[in-house]
Amino acid sequence: MTRFIDVPQLASLVRAVGAGRFMTELAAAIKADYLRWNDFDKTPRLAAHSARGVIELMPVADRSRYTFKYVNGHPSNTALGLPTVMAFGALADVDTGYPRLLSELTLMTALRTAATSAMVAQHLARPAARRMALIGNGAQSEFQAIAFHTLLGIEEVSLYDIDPAATAKLRRNLAHTVPALAVSCAASTAQAVRGADIVTTVTADKAYATILTPDMIEPGMHINAVGGDCPGKTELHADILRAARVVVEYEPQSRIEGEIQQMPADFPVVELWRVLEGSVAGRESAQQVTVFDSVGFALEDYSALCYLDQLAQAHGIGTMLALVPPAGDPKNLFGATLADPDRNPDQNPDPARHAAARASAEFADITADASPSW
């Protein structure tokens, strides 16, 4: 049987653990997996682009586990009352191909993106960073604010969005969730970023945009550029990149989708795993401007699904599904699923009658040798 986790079940789990603790533990899992970089079979995500958005598949695997995520990006969905981003994914055993976990990943993507952003900022931002500007106040914004407050000790955040209702929503949610965080609202991007140690851009429009321009950048800033994540979608003026130290998740993917799609193929960047293992410096001086050109990489979803699988088992969260045929004669799919049980009850036992016992036995067998990857 396969464990299935829907949105209400994941939300219940996050509330039980606490969003701050959840993202802190998730950030540690993501970092641990980046430190195993060479253990993974990696590829840029597969994308199907349309005039209104993109649908992508994001696979990755190590020797024991395989994961994938289905995710879309459709900025105009908000006019239809639909999320801009929707996602689900699966975790499977490499040796058998057996699907261990099927889960919603819309909420989980927001959590893992924010956890990754904050974990990276621990290595790229100045140690005394306490003030952040948050440009783009949509669905991802609360998660970013909570993660940076929890993992980096950010004390002040200045908000700006072209939609005042989005900013009001974010301020209201943060006041209730993180009362210790001082929140202010700016009248422009330039006003919001003035004096900030960290600038997070998380806008949604699928366009070559210049949310940040060179005149807004101050020495020592760390820029967490999240919104530019597919071809034809950017947030930073190219001159900001030219003057900064740029860190990416997976260079072959970032060259296609990230801020660096604006730059020549030989534009120098540093892959994140090298910074985390200490072979390459992240920030080289207090005055240096650093950019995390974040597009979201499948390894982060691997970490998220493995973390979720372990946590869901510990908390008893999820529904067991007969996603694949029951155990029995593997050469008799027809008999196990479509044959008349009254004609041959021994060949086709009633799935409902034996589901509970089979679920327990099969899941115990599949997970017996499993161990966390972090």
Cβ–Cβ < 8 Å for 286, 220: yes
Q: Residue 5 phi/psi, 5° resolution?
A: -125, 120
The torsion of the CA quartet 324, 69, 50, 254, rounded to 10 degrees, works out to: -150
Residue 148: name the closest of 199, 105, 184, 212 by CA.
199
Tell me how far apart the alpha carbons of residues 115 and 301 are, in angstroms, rounded to a whole number: 11
The half-sphere exposure of 324 on its side-chain side, counting CA atoms within 13 A, is 18
> What residues does 1 pair with on adjacent strands?
none
Q: What does DSSP assign to residue 191?
A: H
Tell me how far apart the alpha carbons of residues 333 and 215 are, in angstroms, rounded to a whole number: 66
365 catalytic? Reply is no
Using the CB atoms, write b or e for 34-50: b if 16+ within 10 Å.
Answer: beebeebeeebbebeee
> What residues does 135 pair with on adjacent strands?
160, 201
**The one catalytic residue among 229, 293, 301, 309:** 229
Tokens 């969730």, residue?
177
Catalytic residue positions, numbered: 229
